[in-house]
């Protein structure tokens, strides 16, 4: 879906006004852990602004608290590990092992190229042994487009990594799931775009990756570029931030609201602070209790409850999740 930018207009109505009410939290089912900002890549669209020079990562104390949370709350169905490259950050393997022992679904958001970095070559086998669902960014099935967004040689290494995962049973065995993520190019002066139809693009990816490289995968997830992180910096450099935010607001789709991931998820940073989602985490918008208190893992453990939040903290970037078919870490919402 390609749409020309709208002329700059009055500020968007606030997101909560578009909803008609504050966005309420439901019972928590998903714990998304951002282990830190270390990454072997430095992609232009990265909302985390991760890279090889970053050093922020989980401490042993926070890791122990996370393991306590994973073991203590049966309502928690899924442990979702992200970063940076989560695999490079302290605590990755102990958290996977704890979640596997507690019979949680485990997701790792992997850039795949980490399989070829010294010390991480055994990751595919580690993932398979713990039935980790791998969610991997591959913004195109053409090498040129991927390398432009993610760096030279990333496409070839991603293809080789997918082939290794296929050899281990990923994409074939129902317990070994590999999903790919598409996000559109960084918004540019002449056009803004939402992701194309997810099912149609998934078919195109499946056909091309199988024909060109013999690769199979389970699902393609389409994700909208939110005006945060490096995308926000790129928009600001092109003086397009206001236009792009208005474009997202103009494409508000109320049918996406019921499925917003923030409603049943807790996002945790490497210091143990809680957020309603990873995007809010990157924008430094903490989750709050009904009396306005900023929450940490220690608060969950002291209260012996995951459900301390009534209302999701929203801001204008939330329009990125509700535009068109909607967007989340699990792809389109409608």
CB count within 10 Å of CB 328 equals: 19
Residue nearer to ligand SF4 on the CB measure, 85 or 234: 85
Please, which of residues 153-192 interact with ligand SF4 by CB under 6 A? Answer: none
Please, which of residues 67-86 interact with ligand SF4 by CB under 6 A? Answer: 83-85
Residue nearer to ligand SF4 on the CB measure, 219 or 317: 317
Please tell me what DSSP assigns to residue 311: B
As a whole number of angstroms, the distance between CA 294 and CA 303 comes to 14
Please, which of residues 312-331 interact with ligand SF4 by CB under 6 A? Answer: 312, 314, 317-318, 321
Least separation in angstroms between CB 207 and ligand SF4: 26
Residue window 28-57: x/- pattern of binding to ligand SF4, with contact defined by CB under 6 A: -----------x-xxx--x-x-xx------
Run of H or E including 106: strand 105-110
DSSP string, 177-215: -EEEEE-PPPPBTTBEE----HHHHHHHHHHHHHHHH--
Interaction of residue 264 with ligand SF4, rule CB under 6 A: no
Least separation in angstroms between CB 261 and ligand SF4: 5
Peptide bond into 84 cis (omega under 30): yes
User: Per the structure block, which two tokens stand in for 298?
Assistant: 């220690």
Computed from CA positions of residues 90, 95, 97, 100, in that sequence, does the dihedral angle turn out positive or negative? negative
Residue nearer to ligand SF4 on the CB measure, 40 or 67: 40
Please, which of residues 133-152 interact with ligand SF4 by CB under 6 A? Answer: none
As a whole number of angstroms, the distance between CA 264 and CA 24 comes to 9
Residue nearer to ligand SF4 on the CB measure, 67 or 269: 269
Residue nearer to ligand SF4 on the CB measure, 209 or 262: 262
Q: How many residues bind ligand SF4 (CB under 6 A)?
A: 24
As a whole number of angstroms, the distance between CA 178 and CA 112 comes to 11
- Mark the segment that binds ligand SF4 (CB under 6 A) among 117-125, 155-163, 299-307, 311-319: 311-319
Q: Report the residue from 12, 158, 231, 280 that binds ligand SF4 according to the rule CB under 6 A.
A: 280
Residue window 217-256: x/- pattern of binding to ligand SF4, with contact defined by CB under 6 A: ----------------------------------------
As a whole number of angstroms, the distance between CA 316 and CA 242 comes to 10
Beta bridge partners of 256: none
Residue nearer to ligand SF4 on the CB measure, 159 or 261: 261
Residue nearer to ligand SF4 on the CB measure, 175 or 284: 284
Q: Cα–chain-centroid distance for residue 133?
A: 13
Q: Which residues contact 239 (CB under 8 A, 6 or more apart)?
A: none
Question: Cα torsion at 87, 92, 98, 103 (round to 10°)?
Answer: -30
Least separation in angstroms between CB 320 and ligand SF4: 7
Computed from CA positions of residues 238, 241, 243, 244, in that sequence, does the dihedral angle turn out positive or negative? positive
Interaction of residue 88 with ligand SF4, rule CB under 6 A: no
**Which spans of this chain sit near ligand SF4 (rule: CB under 6 A)?**
39, 41-43, 46, 48, 50-51, 83-85, 111, 260-262, 276-277, 279-280, 312, 314, 317-318, 321
């Amino acid at each position: 879906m390609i749409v020309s930018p709208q002329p700059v207009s009055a500020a968007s109505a606030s997101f909560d006004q578009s909803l008609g009410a504050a966005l309420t939290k439901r019972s928590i089912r998903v714990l998304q852990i951002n282990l830190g900002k270390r990454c072997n890549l430095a992609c232009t669209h990265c909302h985390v602004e991760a890279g090889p020079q970053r050093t922020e990562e989980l401490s042993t104390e926070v890791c122990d608290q996370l393991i306590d949370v994973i073991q203590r709350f049966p309502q928690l169905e899924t442990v979702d590990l992200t970063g940076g490259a989560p695999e490079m950050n302290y605590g990755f393997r102990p958290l996977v092992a704890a979640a596997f022992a507690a019979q949680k679904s485990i997701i790792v958001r992997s850039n795949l190229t980490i399989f070829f970095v010294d010390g991480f070559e055994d990751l595919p086998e580690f993932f398979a042994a713990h039935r980790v669902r791998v969610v991997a960014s591959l913004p195109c099935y053409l090498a040129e487009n991927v390398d432009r967004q993610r760096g030279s040689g990333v496409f070839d290494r991603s293809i080789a990594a997918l082939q290794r995962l296929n050899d281990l049973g990923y994409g074939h065995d129902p317990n070994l799931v590999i999903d790919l993520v598409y996000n559109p190019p960084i918004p540019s002066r002449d056009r803004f775009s939402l992701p194309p139809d997810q099912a149609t693009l998934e078919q195109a990816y499946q056909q091309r990756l199988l024909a060109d490289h013999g690769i199979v995968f389970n699902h393609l997830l389409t994700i909208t570029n939110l005006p945060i992180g490096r995308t926000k910096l790129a928009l600001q450099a092109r003086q397009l931030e206001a236009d792009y935010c208005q474009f997202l607001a103009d494409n508000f789709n109320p049918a996406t609201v019921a499925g917003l991931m923030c409603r049943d998820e807790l996002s945790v940073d490497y210091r143990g602070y809680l957020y309603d989602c990873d995007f809010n985490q990157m924008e430094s918008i903490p989750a709050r209790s009904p009396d306005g208190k900023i929450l940490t893992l220690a608060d969950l453990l002291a209260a012996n409850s995951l459900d301390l939040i009534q209302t999701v903290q929203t801001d204008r970037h939330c329009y990125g999740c509700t535009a068109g078919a909607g967007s989340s870490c699990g792809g389109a919402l409608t």
